[in-house]
Amino acid sequence: MLSKTCEYGIRATIFIALQSLMGMRTSLKYIAEEIDSPEAFTAKILQKLVRVKIIESSKGVNGGFNMASDRIKSTSVLDIVYAIDGYDICNRCVLGLSQCSSNNPCSVHHKFRPVREDLIALMNKTTVEEMALGIKDKLAILR
Amino acid sequence: MLSKTCEYGIRATIFIALQSLMGMRTSLKYIAEEIDSPEAFTAKILQKLVRVKIIESSKGVNGGFNMASDRIKSTSVLDIVYAIDGYDICNRCVLGLSQCSSNNPCSVHHKFRPVREDLIALMNKTTVEEMALGIKDKLAILR
DNA sequence: ACATATTCGGACACAAATGTCCTATTTTTT
DNA sequence: AAAAAATAGGACATTTGTGTCCGAATATGT
């Protein structure tokens, strides 16, 4: 459903949020270990999330990544997906027809629209906070 | 949502079904033109669909592809997707967690299950016949 | 000031998906 | 029998997604 890049991005964000909730800043190295992702690749993904200000970074000794508490509350899965994969995911025709749209729908357009919309809505209302709190007890589950 | 390979496969199948409903067998060349897909690549995809007997092929002069009417009625989008991309699509965790399952769900597992199941159900009950009849008037829409 | 620890960012490397080419095989027509 | 028209299938090529490496920039502690 989502690209690996997105999956890493979401998992990393959840982990950073968890650490931030405990008042801690987290290094890339630690993040990659905990979410079981390739370190350098994860770095690229986190850069993107920093640019759109979903997370914050600081360089140097004791640097790392953290997430402001208002961002933890307000950021949705969809925000992360958009930041990483772009906005196109949702607009693609099921049959890959270039002409297909609401005006000029393919033969299954209307049937698939509700499912698609449900998915978008779900991603839009699922926040980082919710995901983080959902696993607060058992930290080691992000891998 | 679906791979390009699947999209080509579905569109080709719909076109073959349309032709078969009119009692005609269709050549690869014509199919690729009509659905706007790369010819040689489409050939590979059709081979897969022939192997699982969704469509039939015959070689030689006046050869080509056709679809039996019972297949047109009984084949679903899901059948085509399974034949081309395999059975794994549906079982992957949204967060890409290797451990995630019904027994040991991730923090969003239960939230996303209904949407996922709706999508599978929808693909399962959408038949080739339905898709073909949906565009019977305006043939040139499969591109 | 210097050494160290960290992110940033460009260039490169590998893998998987997508696409192409060429020959073999089969069937029909002449 | 030979030529032509079509699919079958292996090998190769290109593009995109995923992943690595290394030096630059920046912040902290000594």
SS3 A25: coil
Q: What is the mean pLDDT of chain B?
A: 93
Q: Can you give the distance from the CA of residue A27 to the C1' of nucleotide D21 in angstroms? A: 19
Query: Considering only CB atoms, which chain B residues are within 8 Å of A133?
Result: 107
Q: Does the nearest atom of strand C lie within 7 Å of A64's Cβ? A: yes
For strand C, is any atom closer than 7 Å to the CB of A3?
Answer: no
DSSP B28: H
Residue A1 has what pLDDT?
Answer: 85
In chain B, what residues touch A116 (CB-CB under 8 Å)?
A: 1
Contact A47, A56 (CB under 8 A): no
Cα(B31)–Cα(B16) distance, integer angstroms:
8
Q: Are B130 and A107 inside 8 Å of each other by CB?
A: yes
pLDDT per residue as tens digits for the range B83-130:
999 987 778 899 999 889 888 889 899 999 999 999 999 999 999 999
> Looking at residue A101, what is its pLDDT?
87
Domains identified in chain B and CATH numbers: 4-86+127-136 (1.10.10.10)
Contact B126, A122 (CB under 8 A): no
Q: What is the pLDDT of residue B109?
A: 92
Q: How far apart are the C-alpha atoms of A13 and A127, rounded to whole Å?
A: 11
Instruction: Indicate the pLDDT class of residue B136, thresholds 50, 70 and 90.
Output: low
- A:22-61 Cβ neighbours of strand D under 7 Å: 37-41, 43-44, 58-61
On whether the CB atoms of residues A11 and A37 are closer than 8 A, the answer is yes
Q: What is the pLDDT of residue A75?
A: 98
The answer to whether A8 CB sits below 7 Å from nucleic acid chain D is yes
**Sole residue written with tokens 């092929």:** B57
Q: What per-residue confidence (pLDDT) applies to B112?
A: 94
pLDDT exceeds cutoff 90 at A18: yes
Identify whether the C-beta of residue B42 lies closer than 8 Å to the C-beta of residue B28.
Answer: yes
B54's CB contacts (< 8 A; 6+ apart) are B13, B67, B71, B75, B79, B80, B83
Contact call for residues A63 and A25 (beta carbons, < 8 A): yes
Say yes or no to pLDDT of A139 above 60: no
Cβ distance A39 to A29 under 8 Å?
A: yes
What's the whole-model pTM score?
A: 0.94
Instruction: Tell me how far apart the alpha carbons of residues B21 and A70 are, in angstroms, rounded to a whole number.
Output: 59
The answer to whether strand C lies under 7 Å from the CB of residue B3 is yes
pLDDT at A140 over 80: no
Q: Select the more confidently predicted residue: A66 or B102.
A: A66
Distance CA B16, CA B39 (A): 15
- Residues A131, B95, A53, CA angle at the centre, nearest 5°? 65
Question: Which nucleotides in chain D have some atom under 7 angstroms from a protein Cβ?
Answer: 4-10, 17-22, 25-29
